[in-house]
Chain A
Amino acid sequence: MSILQVKNLSKSFGTVQALKGVSFTVRSGTVVGLIGPNGAGKTTLLKCILGLVRYERGEIFLDGRPLAGRKELAAQISYIPEQPVYYEELTVEENLSLYAMLAGTPRREFAEKKAMLVKELDLAEHLKKLPDQLSKGNRQKMMIAMAFFKRFQMLLADEPFSGLDPVMIRRLKDLFLAVKEEEKTVLISTHLLDLAQTICDDYIFLDHGNILAAGNREEIRRAAGIPGKEGVSLEEAYLKLLGRSEGS
């Protein structure tokens, strides 16, 4: 069953066409990697889904229904932005509480999630600090925690592994897998192919606003024209698809 359906989506910024009639489907309860080079249109696509960018053409369906008002949208999707955004004069704990309150998380659920996330993301010693006193990685962890405080059907994560150490990357992967186990969906925009390979069920390869290939690893391999053999890495398929895209 599909949770997200994007049909013929187009978006231009002046003369630059960021998305050129993009269509794909995301299955419910999967982790999907949105992969592409810089300027491929990944963030624009995520922002279209979030309703933050007006698109000229196309349709987006969430759980079978067209994306409607902001409130409805915000209630179903959680988002980890590429750049951390927080109230600078509130401590990490206060930022988390404020976000959870605005997200309508019940007090008990907040307490439970807070205990779990603070432990998983190693945030305990930073709770009373101002975010500006933290390292880039720790600020990223705070943003991840915020996104998890909200109840969602789908989690959009824009470069979520950026700035994290290997231990934290492993824990974040576990958190994403836990989301998947709850039959919810994660759409991750990333450059890190090796990482994507270890966690994603499906992939969407984007370049210059076009989808080069979409599907599971086998489908990607076939789209890239790599004959069936074991040990074909995603990187190989990616480079082949990208090379073909640049050649055309």
Chain B
Amino acid sequence: MSIPGLLLKNQLRSYRKVLRKGLPFLAVLLVFLLFFAGEAGPLVRNRELPDAYLPKIYAAVLLFFAGRRILFLKYPPFFFSLPGLYFFLTTPVNHRLVLAGKVLLSYLPLLLLSFGWSLLTGWVQTGLPGGAGLFFCLAAMANLSWLLYNGETNRLLLRKVLVFLVIILLLFLKTPGFIWAIIAAGSFWRAVNSVDKINWSKYENHCRLAYLSRQFFLAGDWGGLEALTYEYARAEPPAASFLPARVYVTGRKAFTFGQILIISRYPLFSFVVFLGQYAFAVFLMGRGEFLPLTGGSLLLLLGFAGLFSLPVQKLRQKMAQGLFPAGGFAEFIAGLFILPAAVAWVFLAAVFFLVPTGVNPAWQAAASFFPAAILSYLAVARGMFQPAFSGWFVAGALLFALLFSCIYRAFWWEALAALLLFIPYLVSSWQRMKKIYEGTGL
């Protein structure tokens, strides 16, 4: 087989692997989109686009792009895979040709972006580059970004500022597309001929980060991801936990303590994302119809599971590597269950006060104890079952959505039926998780 044939074979097999792993997730996403397409369609169609603001938004997006690519440049605009880089560096292939191919391939997302953006804002006269002009503008920025990335460190900041100012000036002067095309072509030529000036050690390091992050993410290897994060943030070690170092607990409290410790080290952004998900879920639930209610419940669940399942996943991973936690399975579940259950109850109860249903919210808040317990159990289950969207988790998620929707609409008998349905799920999933915990089901 030829060189392109083998490279293509590797790529196709890699896509196949990703697809296999992500299929359940894609299926859930598809069902979610199908459910909401009917609801979201009229919402989008009936809304008037703020034409007056679009040029400003457009300019802001371009400025953001330029700032990210030129001024606050940290990573290169494109990456090689680690084996690709090794094979490229240690063999006498035509390095310029390979680099040119790589640069051209990196234009593909820019092409799609400029095409999509031009479709969206085609009718707005912004004076800023659009269509092909926008593509050449983005390509020029990417090329300049690559040249600056590999530039000598002497006066690099000054050069970055100068290039950024020139780009702003060209945008401000409403430079026609062909000028951007000339800049793009010139910078492309320089980029391709920079092969002997590439800062390989820095580039190899960043390619490694990109490659390993992807590998660890696809393998669900959170331990690996965390180790990689610490390795690359060596200059800035993680902030010390606010928890006192003298705390010493055993048994189920040790699991809870570990969970609190891990969560306390999450970046602030994780909590912002969770609150955003929560706000959107509440907004959906406020529509009161069955499908948005279900969607909102699932969104809430995903936010919660994302936040609380990581400590479980990490523990499971360490167990697979040889850690034997003291205490039985019940202690393990109890230790990891209490904190998310308490937090979940507060957030679920708050839904009824934020979006009143006409029924006494105190009753509904009290009844939220059951979905909160299920939600917490599911966060643990998501951490225990691999992959993240395993059948076990999806089944539990649907039961949760059903129960919470029934409580929200004050369908008490239906809620009781949903709760009863949860019992066989609890028994069977408990047994399965116990096997995983004890190492007999790994």
Q: Are A90 and B196 in contact (CB under 8 A)?
A: no
For residue B198, which residue of chain A has the nearest CB? Answer: A70
Given contacts A52-B200, A52-B204, A54-B199, are A70 and B10 in contact (CB under 8 A)?
no
Instruction: Note all chain A residues with C-beta closer than 8 A to B46.
Output: none
A88 CB-CB contact with B under 8 Å: yes
For residue B203, which residue of chain A has the nearest CB? Answer: A52
In the complex, chain A residues 170-214 whose Cβ is within 8 Å of any chain B Cβ:
none
For residue A77, which residue of chain B has the nearest CB? Answer: B90
Q: Are B90 and A90 in contact (CB under 8 A)?
A: no
Given contacts A53-B201, A89-B13, are A70 and B95 in contact (CB under 8 A)?
yes
Q: Are A150 and B6 in contact (CB under 8 A)?
A: no
Q: Are A104 and B9 in contact (CB under 8 A)?
A: no
Q: Are B13 and A52 in contact (CB under 8 A)?
A: no
Q: Are A75 and B201 in contact (CB under 8 A)?
A: no
Total B residues in contact with A, Cβ cutoff 8 Å: 29
Given contacts A51-B200, A70-B196, A102-B87, are A90 and B6 in contact (CB under 8 A)?
yes
A78 CB-CB contact with B under 8 Å: yes
Q: How far is the CB of A77 from chain B (nearest CB, A)?
A: 8
Please measure, in the bound complex, the distance between the C-alpha atom of A89 and the C-alpha atom of B199, giving whole angstroms.
28
Q: Are B10 and A52 in contact (CB under 8 A)?
A: no
Instruction: Note all chain B residues with C-beta closer than 8 A to A70.
Output: 89, 95, 195-196
For residue B12, which residue of chain A has the nearest CB? Answer: A89
Q: Are B91 and A53 in contact (CB under 8 A)?
A: no
Q: Are A88 and B14 in contact (CB under 8 A)?
A: yes
For residue A94, which residue of chain B has the nearest CB? Answer: B6
A23 CB-CB contact with B under 8 Å: no
Please measure, in the bound complex, the distance between the C-alpha atom of A103 and the C-alpha atom of B1, giving whole angstroms.
15
Cross-chain contact of B89 among A69, A72, A74, A88 (Cβ < 8 A): A74
A163 CB-CB contact with B under 8 Å: no
Q: Are B195 and A85 in contact (CB under 8 A)?
A: no
Cross-chain contact of A90 among B9, B94, B204 (Cβ < 8 A): B9
Q: How far is the CB of B12 from chain A (nearest CB, A)?
A: 8
In the complex, chain A residues 52-86 whose Cβ is within 8 Å of any chain B Cβ:
52-54, 69-72, 74-75, 77-79, 81, 85-86
Please measure, in the bound complex, the distance between the C-alpha atom of A209 and the C-alpha atom of B201, giving whole angstroms.
18
For residue B204, which residue of chain A has the nearest CB? Answer: A52
Cross-chain contact of B92 among A47, A53, A97, A103 (Cβ < 8 A): A103
Instruction: Note all chain A residues with C-beta closer than 8 A to B13.
Output: 89-90
Q: Which of A72, A86, A89, A101 has the most CB of B within 10 A?
A: A89
Q: Are B200 and A81 in contact (CB under 8 A)?
A: no
Q: Are A90 and B200 in contact (CB under 8 A)?
A: no
Instruction: Note all chain B residues with C-beta closer than 8 A to A101.
Output: 2-3, 6
B86 CB-CB contact with A under 8 Å: yes
In the complex, chain B residues 54-92 whose Cβ is within 8 Å of any chain A Cβ:
81-83, 86-87, 89-92
Instruction: Note all chain B residues with C-beta closer than 8 A to A98.
Output: 3, 6-7, 87
Given contacts A90-B6, A101-B3, are A74 and B92 in contact (CB under 8 A)?
yes
Please measure, in the bound complex, the distance between the C-alpha atom of A50 and the C-alpha atom of B88, giving whole angstroms.
13
Given contacts A70-B195, A94-B9, A97-B1, are A89 and B17 in contact (CB under 8 A)?
yes
Q: Are B82 and A85 in contact (CB under 8 A)?
A: yes
Please measure, in the bound complex, the distance between the C-alpha atom of A104 and the C-alpha atom of B94, giving whole angstroms.
11
Given contacts A89-B9, A102-B87, are A52 and B201 in contact (CB under 8 A)?
yes
Please measure, in the bound complex, the distance between the C-alpha atom of A52 and the C-alpha atom of B88, giving whole angstroms.
12
B173 CB-CB contact with A under 8 Å: no
Please measure, in the bound complex, the distance between the C-alpha atom of A71 and the C-alpha atom of B98, giving whole angstroms.
12
A99 CB-CB contact with B under 8 Å: yes
Instruction: Note all chain A residues with C-beta closer than 8 A to B201.
Output: 47, 52-54
In the complex, chain B residues 91-123 whose Cβ is within 8 Å of any chain A Cβ:
91-95
Instruction: Note all chain A residues with C-beta closer than 8 A to B204.
Output: 52
Given contacts A51-B200, A52-B201, are A87 and B91 in contact (CB under 8 A)?
no
Cross-chain contact of A71 among B81, B82, B95 (Cβ < 8 A): B95
Given contacts A85-B83, A101-B3, are A74 and B90 in contact (CB under 8 A)?
yes
Q: How far is the CB of B312 from chain A (nearest CB, A)?
A: 26
Please measure, in the bound complex, the distance between the C-alpha atom of A69 and the C-alpha atom of B89, giving whole angstroms.
11
Please measure, in the bound complex, the distance between the C-alpha atom of A150 and the C-alpha atom of B87, giving whole angstroms.
12
Q: How far is the CB of A106 from chain B (nearest CB, A)?
A: 14
Instruction: Note all chain A residues with C-beta closer than 8 A to B92.
Output: 71-72, 74-75, 103-104
Instruction: Note all chain A residues with C-beta closer than 8 A to B2.
Output: 101
Q: How far is the CB of A70 from chain B (nearest CB, A)?
A: 5
Instruction: Note all chain B residues with C-beta closer than 8 A to A78.
Output: 90
Q: Are B94 and A71 in contact (CB under 8 A)?
A: yes
Q: Are B90 and A87 in contact (CB under 8 A)?
A: no
Cross-chain contact of B86 among A71, A81, A88 (Cβ < 8 A): A81
For residue B199, which residue of chain A has the nearest CB? Answer: A54
Instruction: Note all chain A residues with C-beta closer than 8 A to B3.
Output: 98, 101-102
Instruction: Note all chain A residues with C-beta closer than 8 A to B6.
Output: 87, 90, 94, 97-98, 101
Instruction: Note all chain A residues with C-beta closer than 8 A to B95.
Output: 70-71, 74
Instruction: Note all chain A residues with C-beta closer than 8 A to B90.
Output: 50, 74, 77-79, 150
Q: Are B82 and A99 in contact (CB under 8 A)?
A: no
Cross-chain contact of A103 among B9, B17, B91 (Cβ < 8 A): B91
Please measure, in the bound complex, the distance between the C-alpha atom of A85 and the C-alpha atom of B199, giving whole angstroms.
20
Instruction: Note all chain A residues with C-beta closer than 8 A to B199.
Output: 54
Please measure, in the bound complex, the distance between the C-alpha atom of A98 and the C-alpha atom of B199, giving whole angstroms.
26
Given contacts A52-B204, A70-B195, A94-B6, are A87 and B89 in contact (CB under 8 A)?
no
For residue A143, which residue of chain B has the nearest CB? Answer: B86
User: 16 additional contacts, CB 8 Å, given A78-B90, A102-B87, A103-B91?
Assistant: A47-B201, A50-B90, A51-B200, A52-B204, A54-B199, A69-B196, A71-B92, A74-B91, A87-B10, A88-B10, A88-B14, A89-B13, A89-B14, A94-B6, A94-B10, A104-B93
Chain B positions near chain A (C-beta within 8 angstroms): 1-3, 6-7, 9-11, 13-14, 17, 81-83, 86-87, 89-95, 195-196, 199-201, 204
The 10 closest A-B pairs by CB, nearest first: A89-B13, A75-B92, A102-B91, A85-B86, A52-B200, A103-B91, A89-B10, A53-B201, A87-B10, A98-B6
List 22 A-B pairs, Cβ < 8 Å: A50-B89, A50-B90, A52-B89, A53-B200, A69-B195, A69-B196, A71-B94, A74-B92, A74-B93, A81-B86, A85-B83, A85-B86, A87-B10, A88-B14, A89-B10, A94-B9, A97-B6, A98-B6, A101-B6, A103-B91, A103-B92, A104-B91
